[in-house]
Amino acid sequence: MHSITEGTFTLSGLDVHYTADFLVNANPSVSGNLSNVLNQQMTAGSGQFVVPFHFNSTNNGSFVVYNPSVAYVDGAPNIALPPTPALRLVDVEPDRVVIEWQPITDFGDDLLDFIVYRSASGQPIDLQNPYTSTLANNAIDVAVQPGQSWTYWVQSIHRFGVTSNLSLPLTTTIPYPIPKSFVPNLTASDVPDDEGGALNISWSPGDASIVEHRIFVLTTDFSDVSGQDTTLTANASATSLVVDEDSTGNPLVDGVAYYIAAIGLDIYGNASTNVTAIGPVYSRNDSALSTVIDVTYTDFTGGELDGTVLLARTKGLDVSAHLHQNGVGIANATMKLTVSGTDEAYDVEMTTNTTGHATLSIDSLSSLGPIDAVGPMNLTLAYGGSEGDIMNQPLEGASTTSAAFGTVLVMLTADEPIPVQTDGFFETIIAVDAEDSVQSMYLANMGVAWQATDSSGEELSNGTAEVRGNELSV
């Protein structure tokens, strides 16, 4: 429309005509060949056959069809409808679906092939895009993934455009593969040389399908982890994990029993929930605790010489000891008492009771062996420490040494009474013998101090003398 001046105009009551060309070159009907559809409705004879065509439009109105041209093919000489394929699910695996239907012989000699349609579950069939075709009475679909759902239809195709009715739909869901979640050679132990609160968990590589490990650490024994969460995970290549908390995120407590299991998750996040837990396993503080030995010795004199422990080869020794850690007695511990002198040392063991106390009574030092027990000696009581166990912390060793003195016990035998001259002089021979004959050699040239007193105890005279030939001349 054109105007030589500016302005507006209004049109009404227009009748617009147009002509369009349409080409329909495919029959969308599931029954296939239109000729066969018409033939199924005809009877023998001549005349007209009315074929209705349905057109859909978005608005009411009318249109005229000019010069229609309908292409056709000859219908089948025998238009008996083939049997409808009856689908059966043969196998469904994580990587394939296998379906089949009646034997090929049921579909006649004019069978060309079968058309298979596939749509996602819940979606309509797409007749314009068949999924595949086959000459067999089965189809194998390998383009599937676990968790997907597919619906299948099948239609047989025959000569002269004859087709069967579509089969009833067959819907199936692709299963997930059975998870190979077993984790072999699972072990757990305390982390060595630490201050406690940690466990070392290790295992061997499992199946190649494992993409993640999940570790379960609980305070009670268990055989199933369904519904059980854990904060402990490791990647596919890991074969060990040091943990300082349990599956709920709580810190590990030394001395508490823990049970441990592991599973491997596949790429779909699936795993078997049945497990065999190992345990009990304990974390431990591996730093050694200091120990103390308190000891008291009672010699054969009953402590007559204060501050010095006297020993004699034929006499005994009583020992009383307390082994403790910060005041707490250490039970069932073995301590070793070493009695040592010049070029000699003899050991004897003693064991603590439930309160950490131990006593030892040696009837005679000679029972320890061929000991001399003469001169300066030492008494050493030692505890070798303990490595502890899975629940108890290690203990350091301890020792304490006390000085002692080995003596030779001597018997002095005098001739009595001793005659005293009028001027107060006297002379006597005293026999000197060692109580232990083995030690007689120590008597030679032994100096002896003597003192003479009157009947009231007043000293009259004193002096020294040497032992010669087992005699002391005064």
Q: Of 281, 302, 322, which residue constitutes the final position of a domain?
A: 281
Q: Which pLDDT does position 27 carry in this prediction? A: 59
Q: Which pLDDT does position 42 carry in this prediction? A: 66
Which residues lie below 8 Å from residue 143, measured CB to CB, with a gap of 6+? none
In a domain, 258, yes or no: yes
Q: Which pLDDT does position 57 carry in this prediction? A: 82
Domain of 320, CATH number, reads 2.60.40.1930
In a domain, 177, yes or no: no
Measured distance CA(435)–CA(190) in Å, rounded: 60
394 and 298 within one domain = yes
3-state secondary structure labels for all residues of 185-222: CCEEEECCCCECCCEEEECCCCCCCCCEEEEEEECCCC
Residues belonging to the chain: 474
Q: Which pLDDT does position 283 carry in this prediction? A: 94
Q: Which pLDDT does position 39 carry in this prediction? A: 67
**Could you tell me where the beta strands, DSSP code E, fall in 121-273?**
132-134, 138-141, 149-158, 170-173, 187-190, 199-202, 212-218, 232-235, 240-243, 258-265
Measured distance CA(22)–CA(307) in Å, rounded: 130
Report pTM: 0.60
Q: Of 227, 257, 281, which residue constitutes the final position of a domain?
A: 281
In a domain, 9, yes or no: no
In a domain, 208, yes or no: yes
Q: Which pLDDT does position 9 carry in this prediction? A: 81
Q: Which pLDDT does position 32 carry in this prediction? A: 56
C-alpha angle 403-408-413 in degrees, rounded to nearest 5: 145
Which residue range forms the structural domain that includes residue 401?
292-407
Residue 107 buriedness (CB in 10 A; 0-12 / 13-18 / 19+): buried
How many structural domains are present in the chain?
3
Token pair 């000019």 in the structure block, residue: 66
Which residues lie below 8 Å from residue 420, measured CB to CB, with a gap of 6+? 426
440 and 373 within one domain = no
343 and 257 within one domain = no
Q: Which pLDDT does position 36 carry in this prediction? A: 66
457 and 351 within one domain = no
383 and 297 within one domain = yes
In a domain, 140, yes or no: no
Measured distance CA(216)–CA(214) in Å, rounded: 7
454 and 442 within one domain = yes
Q: Of 407, 424, 453, which residue constitutes the final position of a domain?
A: 407
* CB under 8 A, 24+ apart: contacts of 415-421: none
273 and 345 within one domain = no
Q: Which pLDDT does position 14 carry in this prediction? A: 84
315 and 415 within one domain = no
399 and 334 within one domain = yes
> If you compute the radius of gyration of the chain from its CA atoms, what whole number of angstroms results?
56
Domain of 208, CATH number, reads 2.60.40.10
In a domain, 141, yes or no: no
Residues of the chain scoring pLDDT < 50 = none
Q: Which pLDDT does position 31 carry in this prediction? A: 53
CA 40 vs. chain centroid, Å, equals 74
Q: Are 385 and 392 in contact (CB under 8 A)?
A: no
415 and 316 within one domain = no
Q: Which residues pair with 379 in a beta bridge?
A: 339, 402
C-alpha angle 308-310-311 in degrees, rounded to nearest 5: 145
| Distances in whole angstroms, Cα of residue 358 to Cα of each of 111, 293, 318, 332 | 103, 11, 11, 9
Q: What is the DSSP letter of 420?
A: B
In a domain, 434, yes or no: yes
401 and 297 within one domain = yes
In a domain, 24, yes or no: no
According to DSSP, the β-strands at 88-93 and 96-100 are antiparallel
234 and 197 within one domain = yes
